[in-house]
């Protein structure tokens, strides 16, 4: 085996020394460094896993909040729809009542106006009849008391026409 090492250019003493140094360095690293590195890596893995778990929990919480928000919005929409429907039907009912009241009031006003117009017409006719009677009586008196001239007749007819046009 010595020939093999010699052909390869390897010194067996040096190989042994390097192997001993390697084992010594490995022992020191294992004793002081690897434990800390592995501990650090384990802690880091644990922290990463906690972060992943927290993220998953946060995602579930966000989804739950979205769902609750959506349900609340739907509930609010339904309540708004009910309120709007109630308000619309109430407004329509009040509108119908107001229109009915306005119709009754308009009918009453029209009835009163017609009665007033009929009364005014009766009064005007009665007044015109009374005036015509007075004029007829006046004409009869004048005719009986003296004889009328053509001028008097024209004047009397003119007055009667004016009166009839103004009062009838």
Q: How confident is the model at residue 168 (pLDDT cuts 50, 70, 90)?
A: low
**Domains contained in the chain, number:** 1
* Average pLDDT score over the chain: 87
The pTM for the full model equals: 0.40
Q: Which tokens sit at 61?
A: 């919480």
Is residue 166 scored above 90 in pLDDT? no
CA separation for the pair 151, 158 (Å, rounded) = 10
64-95 pLDDT, tens digit each: 999 999 999 999 999 999 999 999 999 999 99
Is residue 130 scored above 80 in pLDDT? yes
Which domain covers residue 116, as residue numbers?
A: 2-167
Least confident piece of the model among 26-30, 35-39, 42-46, 141-145? 141-145
Q: Which tokens sit at 67?
A: 């769902």
Q: How confident is the model at residue 13 (pLDDT cuts 50, 70, 90)?
A: confident
pLDDT of residue 145: 65
CA separation for the pair 29, 16 (Å, rounded) = 20
CA separation for the pair 111, 136 (Å, rounded) = 37
């Amino acid at each position: 085996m010595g020939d093999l090492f010699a052909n390869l250019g390897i010194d067996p003493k040096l190989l042994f020394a390097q192997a001993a140094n390697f084992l010594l360095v490995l022992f020191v690293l294992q004793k002081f460094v690897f434990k800390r590195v592995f501990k650090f890596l384990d802690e880091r893995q644990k922290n990463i896993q906690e972060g992943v778990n927290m993220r998953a929990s946060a995602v579930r919480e966000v989804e739950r909040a979205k769902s609750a928000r959506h349900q609340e919005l739907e509930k609010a929409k339904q309540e708004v729809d009910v309120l709007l429907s109630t308000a619309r039907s109430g407004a329509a009912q009040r509108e119908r009542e107001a229109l009915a009241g306005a119709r009754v009031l308009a009918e009453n006003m029209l009835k009163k106006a017609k009665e007033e117009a009929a009364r005014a017409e009766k009064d005007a006719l009665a007044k015109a009849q009374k005036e015509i009677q007075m004029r007829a009586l006046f004409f009869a008196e004048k005719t009986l008391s003296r004889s009328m001239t053509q001028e008097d007749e024209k004047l009397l007819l003119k007055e009667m026409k004016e009166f009839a046009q103004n009062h009838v």
